[in-house]
Homo-oligomer: A and B are copies of this chain.
Amino acid sequence: MILISTRDRIVERADTLFYEGGFEATSFADIAEAVGISRGNFYHHFRTKDDILDAVIDRRLERTRGMLEGWQGEGANPRERILSFINMLIANRTKIMAFGCPVGTLCSELAKLDHAAHARATDILGLFRDWLTAQFRTLGAGDRSEPLALHLLSWSQGVAVMAAAFRDEAFIGNEVAGMEAWLVSLTENSFKTKEH
């Protein structure tokens, strides 16, 4: 039997609620009720709403690092590892169609709120950017590695926004197929001849 601390349960639930309902719209009471504890107990662990947001971002940073490390082990080569990234859109398609990308929507919300945690939320995207950059570099993309990484990350963000807006599962499939084809065309053509 695994015992999970109250603090961790709070962060876990808050993470879900922030994702599914937004940071601003989620109240202390909502989280406390979801965890099944009193507000007083909640306040013992987190004194302000910003504190729990920080904890949620920390959790996401850590889980993202873990996921990227997992992909690093899974894929035999960079191309397969990048496919693991792309496959996120398929694996999480139901939630994405309902709530968008957890990271992208949080960054967008914090940008509008002019919230101090915006930069740290963006760091999560930064983890993906840097990991993808490393993959493209291993593929031989050289100086184009980071622009390619940003492009693929941006591509997935666009798909998430559109999927949440139109609730269109077929669209996700089309775009994922496009990403895979793009990846193949990159490895087959561009990196051998070094022109742009």
Contacts of A175 in B (CB 8 A): 151, 154
Whether the Cβ atoms of A154 and B164 lie closer than 8 Å is no
Whether the Cβ atoms of B162 and A150 lie closer than 8 Å is yes
Q: Is the interface of A mostly helix, strand, loop or mixed?
A: helix
Whether the Cβ atoms of A161 and B109 lie closer than 8 Å is no
Report the bound CA distance from A153 to B161 in whole Å: 10
Whether the Cβ atoms of A112 and B25 lie closer than 8 Å is yes
**How many copies of this kind of chain does the complex include?**
2
Whether the Cβ atoms of A154 and B150 lie closer than 8 Å is no
A167 shortest CB reach to chain B, Å: 8
Which of B21, B98, B121, B150 meets A171, CB within 8 Å? B150
> Interface residues of A, CB < 8 Å — how many?
39
Report the bound CA distance from A98 to B100 in whole Å: 20
Which of B22, B25, B158 meets A155, CB within 8 Å? B158
A148-192 vs B, CB cutoff 8 Å, 1 = contact: the mask equals 001101111111011011100001001100100000000000000
Contacts of A151 in B (CB 8 A): 174-175, 178
Q: Does A20 contact B (CB under 8 A)?
A: yes
A53-93 vs B, CB cutoff 8 Å, 1 = contact: the mask equals 00000000000000000000000000000000000000000
Interface residues of A (CB under 8 A from B): 20-22, 24-25, 98-100, 104-105, 107-109, 111-113, 121-122, 125-126, 147, 150-151, 153-159, 161-162, 164-166, 171, 174-175, 178
User: Could you list some 6 contacts between A and B, CB below 8 A?
Assistant: A21-B112, A22-B113, A100-B111, A107-B161, A108-B108, A108-B161
